[in-house]
Chain A
Amino acid sequence: MELSLATRTVGEHTVLEVGGEVDVYTAPRLRERLLELIDGGARRVVVDLGRVDFLDSTGLGVLVGALKRLRSAGGSFALVCDKEPLLKIFRITALDQVFPLHPTVDAAISADPTGTGA
């Protein structure tokens, strides 16, 4: 399935819903969208991986890139993921210790230490 990207705003958070396959071919589009959001002023970003059915190292690299960029800008970055196959990928790469991972968008937003929980 092709990559799908949709953005919405929840309070002061920008939520990017990602669907389909994030791989070496499609990851550049994800990188581009995240850069657009950050360059456009988004500082509290939640990426919802709920509809992702494939994620590889290239996609993970893009997500880490966004995390670093936001942290250095004083912002926050969190992931929403509750699918065991994807969670296993984060565990195996030790990226579960790098990303804040939450089962729902609401949980990600209310856990954001930089936000007001709105």
Chain B
Amino acid sequence: MATVKLSFSPAPVHVRTARLVGVAVARRAGVREDLLDEVRLAIGEACTRAVALHRQYGLADPVYVEMSDSGAYTVRVVDRAPIEASVGLAALPPDELAKESLSEDALTTGVGFALLAGFVEDLQVRPVEEGIGTEVRMVWPVRR
């Protein structure tokens, strides 16, 4: 079992680094080449969401990312924001998306969740086992 762990201060500039590392480890783990774009996007969305939550709550704690290839390629993105912040994540229907009243932040959150749900077949969003926060867990199959 090979595991790569990464933690970064909640700044947008570091999300790209997390995407690059996530894709490099996915490739090494044997994730199919044609899935790598989706892996890149999904890790980016999960990290973007975590960074946004930390900034919203003024949390300086790092965002934690763990990539492991034991059996399948599993990526966990952990934030430290209060759980209630994660509630209300929902994909938005098209007629909602273009509404004047919908803020850009709300739209981005809804679209981000739609991308996660659309690109990751095996996706779980759940409270962390210890302390405060949410874990976004994504799994992709690997070739052996």
Interface residues of A (CB under 8 A from B): 21, 23-25, 54, 56-58, 60-62, 64-65, 67-68, 72, 85, 89, 92-95, 97-98
* B14, closest chain A residue (CB): A25
Measured in the bound complex, the distance between the Cα atoms of B112 and A93 in whole Å is 8
Q: Does B48 belong to the interface (CB within 8 Å)?
A: yes
Measured in the bound complex, the distance between the Cα atoms of B119 and A70 in whole Å is 31
Contact A64-B112, Cβ < 8 Å, known A24-B15, A94-B94: no
Beta-carbon contact of B111 and A61 below 8 Å: yes
Contact A57-B100, Cβ < 8 Å, known A93-B115, A93-B118: no
Beta-carbon contact of B41 and A56 below 8 Å: yes
Residue among B40, B105, B107 with max Cβ neighbours from chain A (10 Å): B107
Residue in contact with B112 in the complex, picked from A57, A72, A97, A98, CB distance below 8 Å: A57
Measured in the bound complex, the distance between the Cα atoms of B115 and A65 in whole Å is 18
Q: Which residues on A sit within 8 Å (CB–CB) of B93?
A: 94
8 Å CB interface, B29-56 against A: 37, 40-41, 44-45, 48, 51-52
Beta-carbon contact of B48 and A24 below 8 Å: yes
Measured in the bound complex, the distance between the Cα atoms of B13 and A21 in whole Å is 12
Q: Which residues on B sit within 8 Å (CB–CB) of A62?
A: 104
Beta-carbon contact of B12 and A24 below 8 Å: yes
Q: Say how far A60's CB is from chain B's closest CB, in angstroms.
A: 5
Q: Which residues on B sit within 8 Å (CB–CB) of A98?
A: 94, 97-98
Measured in the bound complex, the distance between the Cα atoms of B59 and A92 in whole Å is 31
Beta-carbon contact of A64 and B119 below 8 Å: no
Measured in the bound complex, the distance between the Cα atoms of B114 and A94 in whole Å is 9
Measured in the bound complex, the distance between the Cα atoms of B97 and A64 in whole Å is 8
Q: Say how far B20's CB is from chain A's closest CB, in angstroms.
A: 10
Measured in the bound complex, the distance between the Cα atoms of B103 and A38 in whole Å is 19
Beta-carbon contact of B118 and A92 below 8 Å: yes
* A89, closest chain B residue (CB): B115
Q: Can you list 22 A-B pairs, Cβ within 8 angstroms, ordered by A?
A: A21-B16, A24-B15, A54-B19, A56-B45, A57-B108, A57-B112, A60-B107, A60-B108, A61-B108, A64-B104, A67-B98, A72-B100, A89-B115, A92-B118, A93-B114, A93-B115, A93-B118, A94-B92, A94-B97, A95-B94, A95-B111, A98-B94
